[in-house]
């Protein structure tokens, strides 16, 4: 009997693109090599990462969150490595659940390795025909940022910039530059100093100003290379930009909101007086299909 084909979908959030593999009961074997094969842009489906959609109760890393969030985002980078969190991924994950009829518009909770995140799926508009595939925005509560004390730098070639070390569930180094072109081709990961500050690697964001409370970034993602967007990175950038601008909602008691442009679109990010960060942006499912299990396992057919 032949092995059944594996359903998948493809989606993106501000062009941070993902292979989505629904596996409610966690029955699929997805070793790093299989993830890298699926995310390969020439020999596979292609993506910056993979969203393995599993019921929290069925996954050993999420079972403890099952009472608060039915679904677990088992996120993998395109090189097959595991990441704690993916901001754009959470929105696309929520969009998948909506499209599959597993959740409706409104609020839902999603378990991630960084903890439970709450998403709000905006009501579909008539302009989108009210369909479940509508491209309305999704807002995600991204938790609190953690800014490390100390001196950090990021360098590309001979250039070196001071950086903020911001954790959004996953690690980020944020450097303000004069011009985004200074980041170079970003084929390889920029050097970070001290490297010991990031024992598990780091995502690196380069940032320029576009106007008041408006910045733009380029990013090199750990485990994926340069991508068109990074949601957690955009949140790290928002917090770093606010502090640089002398704004700390915990001190002022007022919400701070920044527009963060990424190569693949725009995200709007707010920090509340209690320190929680909220991100709003699009999430789109573009295709669905079937994976050949023999190809995935590398078994010649
Ligand atoms: N693109 C994501 C971040 C994905 C994980 C990251 N590469 C890491 O290893 O931490 C986002 O939108 O946040």
Does 167 show up as a binding residue in the annotation?
A: no
Q: Which helix (H) or strand (E) holds 112?
A: strand 106-112
- How many CB atoms are located within 10 Å of the residue 58 CB? 15
- List the CATH code of the domain at 146-281: 3.10.310.10
88 lines ligand 1 (CB under 6 A): yes
Among candidate residues 20, 36, 166, 230, the one labeled active-site is 230
219 lines ligand 1 (CB under 6 A): no
Return the ligand 1 atom nearest residue 85 CA.
Answer: 5
108 lines ligand 1 (CB under 6 A): no
Domain ranges of the chain: 6-137+283-297, 146-281
Q: How big is the CA angle at 90 (ends 88 and 95), to the nearest 5 degrees? A: 100
Residue whose Cα lies nearest atom 2 of ligand 1: it is: 86
- Ligand 1 pocket test, candidate residues 20, 50, 83, 172, most atoms within 8 A of CB: 83
* Whole-complex ipTM: 0.99
Residue whose Cα lies nearest atom 1 of ligand 1: it is: 230
* Annotated catalytic residue 235: no
- pLDDT of residue 126 exceeding 70, the answer is no
List, for residues 206-234, the tens digit of each pLDDT value.
Answer: 999 999 999 999 999 999 999 999 999 99
Does 252 show up as a binding residue in the annotation?
A: no
Does 185 show up as a binding residue in the annotation?
A: no
Among candidate residues 19, 86, 114, 175, the one labeled active-site is 86
Is 21 in contact with 28 (CB distance < 8 Å)?
yes
112 lines ligand 1 (CB under 6 A): no
Q: CA–CA separation, 81 vs 201, rounded Å? A: 11
Q: What is the mean pLDDT of residues 266-275?
A: 98
16 lines ligand 1 (CB under 6 A): yes
Q: How big is the CA angle at 290 (ends 286 and 292), to the nearest 5 degrees? A: 140
Please give the pLDDT value at position 2: 75
Q: How much of the chain exceeds pLDDT 70, in percent?
A: 95
Going by C-alpha positions, the residue among 240, 255, 250, 178 that lies closest to residue 203 is: 240
List, for residues 68-97, the tens digit of each pLDDT value.
Answer: 999 999 999 999 999 999 999 999 999 999
Is 224 in contact with 77 (CB distance < 8 Å)?
yes
Q: How much of the chain exceeds pLDDT 90, in percent?
A: 93
Does 77 show up as a binding residue in the annotation?
A: yes
222 lines ligand 1 (CB under 6 A): yes
Rounded to an integer, what is the distance from CA 119 to the centroid of its chain?
13
pTM: 0.96
Please give the pLDDT value at position 135: 65
231 lines ligand 1 (CB under 6 A): yes
Same topology between domain 6-137+283-297 and domain 146-281: yes
For the chain, the first-to-last Cα distance in angstroms comes to 14
Return the ligand 1 atom nearest residue 81 CA.
Answer: 9
List, for residues 38-73, the tens digit of each pLDDT value.
Answer: 999 999 999 999 999 999 999 999 999 999 999 999
- Architecture in CATH for domain 6-137+283-297: Roll (3.10)
Q: What is the mean pLDDT of residues 136-151?
A: 97
Q: Confidence class of residue 130 from pLDDT cuts 50, 70 and 90? A: very low
CA 220–ligand 1 middle distance (angstroms): 10
Does 87 show up as a binding residue in the annotation?
A: yes
């Amino acid at each position: 009997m032949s092995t059944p084909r594996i359903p998948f979908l493809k989606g993106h959030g501000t062009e941070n693109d993902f292979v989505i593999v629904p596996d409610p009961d966690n029955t699929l074997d997805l070793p790093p090599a299989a993830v890298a094969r699926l995310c390969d842009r020439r020999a596979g489906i292609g993506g910056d990462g993979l969203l393995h959609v599993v019921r929290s109760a069925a996954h050993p890393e999420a079972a403890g969150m099952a009472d608060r969030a039915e679904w677990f985002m088992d996120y993998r980078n395109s090189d097959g490595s595991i990441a704690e969190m993916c901001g754009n991924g959470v929105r696309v994950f929520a969009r998948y659940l909506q499209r599959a009829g597993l959740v409706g518009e409104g609020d839902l909770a999603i378990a991630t390795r960084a903890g439970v995140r709450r998403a709000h799926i905006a009501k579909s508009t008539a302009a989108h025909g009210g369909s479940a595939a509508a491209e309305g925005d999704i807002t995600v509560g991204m938790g609190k940022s953690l800014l490390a004390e100390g001196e950090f730098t990021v360098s590309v070639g001979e250039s070196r910039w001071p950086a903020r070390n911001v954790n959004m569930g996953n690690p980020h180094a944020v450097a303000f530059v004069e011009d985004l072109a200074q980041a170079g081709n970003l084929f390889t990961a920029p050097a970070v100093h001290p490297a010991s500050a990031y024992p598990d690697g780091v995502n690196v964001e380069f940032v320029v100003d576009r106007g008041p409370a408006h910045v733009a970034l380029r990013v090199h993602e750990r485990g994926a290379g340069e991508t068109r967007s990074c949601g957690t990175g955009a949140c790290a950038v928002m917090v770093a930009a606010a502090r640089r601008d002398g704004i700390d909602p915990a001190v002022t008691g007022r919400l701070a909101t920044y527009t963060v442009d990424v190569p693949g679109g725009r995200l709007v990010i707010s920090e509340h007086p209690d320190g929680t960060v909220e991100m709003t942006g699009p999430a789109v499912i573009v295709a669905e299909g079937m994976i050949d299990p023999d190809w995935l396992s590398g078994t010649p057919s």
